Structure 1
């Protein structure tokens, strides 16, 4: 097997472990989405791509062992809502910062690091804990549904260099009362 199809194990809440064949080269979007008992994965050396939301909401997934990053592509949101340990989070973010949702502090605040130019599609979608965000001056675009259904988000100040906001970026932000446009 070289390709794991999209949604192959989606929602399998009793799935505890996975043994990947050495021949596996790609994991499609949503392949393990919602596998809430999965706590650790070791990905094979020949893996070249991990799709969008492949491990979304694997609520116990703390440890991920990745093959060497050369040639490995990880799509945005591949590990959203996974409690990755610091080592796994750093390894994933070194390949794609937006593969893991940025940290939100105890007050519900997230800071997008300076130097970032894009907030990925669905980066904070359905994040009910998000109350505020600090955007970097370098930000030029916000992807589709980036803040979709962030029910606690109350105000946003967008940076002067912002050029585009994707479709439904702030849709269903029911408490969003103030937006300061550049």
Structure 2
């Protein structure tokens, strides 16, 4: 736990012959550490490992198959990251509050985005979701205030609770006919969202899912959408 805690002059690190990073925080208060290179034989980055605000580069080797819960939580200087195709899952809160993250690739090997995966990634402007994903978790893109566009592939059947809550720059979105459920508060506070389609496949609408949404008035004309969606 905290094995590199408060190494105030450490600027970079290269770790060899390591197979597992523990569930506890190992990089916490190294004020000048900006680059981490981890070994090619590591398989899992698990738990709250990189709890570090100043990391701006992190090289993920192709041996990694999973990024665990809160893996890069609060890495507020992380601007971009390349996810290798060996990874199949992004854990809960994986990039939570990575406030300067502007872009990220999600390879088609990924089949699950954990809850709060990109919560409060304030600088993320766009993201491409591969067809391997079948569900967007709760709070997945909550408070992604710079997110202007996002593709939702036809593989997805559900938009989770507060999925796009507070995405104040989102202007339009196309919901595929594969979607059967829109979660509670899904588009809450998406003030600039002026265009959204509601396919007939949707049978479940969560409370407040369109509350204070830019196209709220237009959506109210759709008799299929319950009143609870707007209050």
Give the TM-score, by structure 2 length: 0.50
Alignment of 1:61-80 (within 5 A): 61-62=102-103, 64=105, 69=109, 72-75=110-113, 78-79=117-118
- Aligned match for 1:165, one of 200, 205, 217: 205
CA–CA distance in structure 1, aligned partners of residues 75 and 198 of structure 2: 35
Report how far residue 3 of structure 1 moved: 4.5
> Which runs of 5 or more residues in structure 1 are unaligned?
none
Q: Counterpart of 1:181? A: 223
CA–CA distance in structure 2, aligned partners of residues 45 and 157 of structure 1: 32
The CA RMSD measured in Å over matched residues stands at: 4.2
> Which runs of 5 or more residues in structure 2 are unaligned?
1-19, 21-43, 142-146, 225-231
2:130 aligns to what SS in structure 1? helix
Total equivalences in the alignment: 166
Query: For each residue in 1:76-106, what CA deviation from the matched residue of structure 2 results, as whole angstroms up to 9, or x when unmatched?
Result: 563574356xxxx55x5243275896x736x
Moved more, 21-30 or 49-58: 21-30
CA–CA distance in structure 2, aligned partners of residues 164 and 15 of structure 1: 41
Distance 1:65 1:144, change over 3 A: closer
Q: Counterpart of 1:104? A: 148
Report how far residue 142 of structure 1 moved: 0.7
Alignment of 1:19-168 (within 5 A): 19-20=59-60, 24-43=64-83, 47-56=87-96, 58=98, 59-62=100-103, 64=105, 69=109, 72-75=110-113, 78-79=117-118, 81=121, 82-83=124-125, 93-96=130-133, 98=136, 104=148, 117-153=157-193, 158-168=198-208
Give the TM-score, by structure 1 length: 0.60
2:57 aligns to what SS in structure 1? coil
Moved more, 137-146 or 39-48: 39-48
Query: For each residue in 1:41-97, what CA deviation from the matched residue of structure 2 results, as whole angstroms up to 9, or x when unmatched?
Result: 34567644211441245333535485x82xx4331563574356xxxx55x524327
Q: Is the 8 A contact 2:133 2:156 kept in 1?
A: no
